Structure 1
Amino acid sequence: MQNILTIDLEEWFHANYHDDVFDPHKTYEVRIIQNTKRLLALFAEHQAKATFFVLGSVAEQHPRLIREIAEAGHELATHGYAHQLIYQQTAAVFKEDVSQAKKRVEDIVGKSVIGYRAPSWSITPKSIWAWDILEELGFVYDASVFPIKTYLYGLPTSPRFSYHPQYNGRTLNLLEVPSSTVRILNKKIPFAGGFYFRALPYPLITRGIKTVNREGHPAIVYLHPREIDPGQPRLTLSPKENLIHYYGISGCEKKLIRVLKKFKFTSVEGYYGL
């Protein structure tokens, strides 16, 4: 069975923990090119396809990299323009941010962008209005829902697997593709990306993927280019945020290689035939 591989294409300093993590007036070291090229090489070696959720500002700065991803046969989707949390934006600001990001990628690759993922999974109970705007803008699917509650994000009422969400009393045509979880003692437990992928041992990750597959669904694996880069500069974070952001990075690439060897992967677009 094929699973779904996704990459949030952003730099090492894009984070939403607190307001002063990223200073737009500073010049930061560029790491995304080398890290993305490494991911592309790994995916080619293991015949895996992925969806790259591209930050609009990254597309603007590195159009050649975006074209290289497209030429390798991967799906290009959008991650918004400026990596801002949806629930901290007005509907008008959100619409402008996403429209700008969508157009930026489309202009580079000459193909419609049909998928979106919010920065930091920021479709929450107070920002589900974003679904309606995404559908209005022509998106076919969204992959912004983390179906458990965390201190920063989460929509705990979400189903575990893909569905068409409801908003203002109607069922949307937009397909929601939530992050993967397994159910343990009637609780949804994440395992397949980011901190969870880095922190959990390989046997638990493979067990989670197999469990989701036995239920008849693809596992949604998600990573960021920085997560295979132990040599990246470090942000000034609280102990909790430092743990979330950096724990397990030294072994992440090796773990990813093992997962790529064991399972087959395609893009969101490829899996659902969109």
Structure 2
Amino acid sequence: MVLLSFDIEEFDMPFEYGKTITFEDQISISAQGTRIILDLLLKNKLKATFFSTVTFAKHVPELIRRILDEGHELASHGVYHSDFKKEHLLESRLALEELSGIKVTGYRMARMMPVDEQEIQKAGYLYNSSINPTWLPGRYNNRHISRTYFYQSSVLQLPASVSPVSRFPLFWLSFHNLPLWYYQHLAKRTYQKDNYLNIYFHPWEFTDLKDKERFGFPGYVSKNTGEDMIRRMDHFMGWINRQGYPSGTISQFTKHIPLP
């Protein structure tokens, strides 16, 4: 099964590059990208999981309703994207459940940073998808962690997909910077090895981020954003269908994994 997921959040990434952006723009840019993603999923008849911060969800309740009405999953991405306390684990789940009227079972830490698994379990989540099991200078040092799903503290851990052997990450930056045919080659190898693919993106990637004065992003971040990203994702989703790979939400996938 192909597990497409999107981290929908207030677009605060320019702060990492010394730029400021208003809160209104943070929400509107992510909202614009989320609408584009939903249109692409609808066109290609695919399902996905949306990890939302409470802050974003409260400002775009109509998008949260559309996500659910179109058969996708809502999961937690915390209360805020740039602030975390362990209390936010439970707080975010309860707030998203109240807002949506459905049970929230999954969590992803902002920026795929480490999170205490016992606290995840105490907060009532069934799965956690916060691990990128690769080595990326200045961000991840997780080559010692299992490439594929495993249980820890009674919580299913679902790492982001990396290629076999070399553990090349198949996350959003790879999608932007590799030739699409080669990304698809790595995705196919990984799917054949693991029998699933867990890859994640963000809504702001589907908007034009090439204005360096405004956003401050280096070329490897802004490359293939906006219309280029829309075309690439549309092609990739079509490729998923042509391969005959089923798609689904993470919660659907976890139902087929035996308990420890």
Q: TM-score range by the shorter chain?
A: 0.7 to 0.9
Match of 1:199 in 2: 177
Percent identity, please.
22
* 8 Å CA contact retained: 2:105, 2:125: yes
Answering whether residue 242 of structure 2 is matched by residue 242 of structure 1, we say no
Match 1:138 to one of 120, 124, 138: 124
What does residue 168 of structure 1 align with?
none
Which residue number corresponds to residue 218 of structure 1? 196
Q: Distance in 2 between matches of 1:58 and 1:131?
A: 24
Q: Which residue of 2 aligns with 1:28?
A: 24
* Matched AA of 2:253: Y
* Distance in 2, Cα, partners of 1:140 & 1:233: 40
Gaps of 5+ in 2: 241-245
CA distance in 2, matches of 1:22, 1:76: 29
Q: Secondary structure at the match of 1:139?
A: coil
SS in 2 for 1:42: helix
Task: Quote the residue 2:168 is aligned against.
Answer: 189
- 1:60 matched to 2:58? The reply is yes
Distance change >3 Å, CA 136–CA 22, structure 1 → 2: farther
Distance 1:21 1:138, change over 3 A: farther
**In the superposition, relative to structure 1, how do residues 46 and 246 fare at CA in structure 2: closer, same or farther (>3 Å)?**
same
Indicate the residue corresponding to 1:255 in structure 2.
Answer: 232
Letter of the aligned partner of 1:249 in structure 2?
T
Give the whole-Å Cα distance in 2 for the aligned partners of 1:270 and 1:97.
Answer: 25
Q: 2:13, 2:215 → 1: CA distance?
A: 12
Cα distance in 1, alignment partners of residues 166 and 190 from structure 2: 14
Secondary structure of 1:197's partner?
Answer: helix
Alignment RMSD, CA only?
A: 2.2
Equivalenced residues, count: 246
Gaps of 5+ in 1: 166-171
TM-score, structure 1 length as denominator?
0.82
Name which of structure 1's ranges 224-233 and 252-261 shifts more when overlaid on structure 2: 224-233
8 Å CA contact 1:67, 1:108 repeated in 2: no
Q: Is the 8 A contact 2:32 2:207 kept in 1?
A: no
Match of 2:142 in 1: 155
Given that residues 57 and 101 in structure 1 are in contact (C-alpha distance below 8 angstroms), is that contact kept between their aligned partners in structure 2? Answer: no
TM-score (norm 2): 0.86
In terms of fraction of residues, the more helix-rich structure is: 2
| Corresponding residue SS for 1:5 | strand
| 1:154 CA displacement | 4.0
My pick for the range that moved more, 221-230 or 8-17, is 8-17
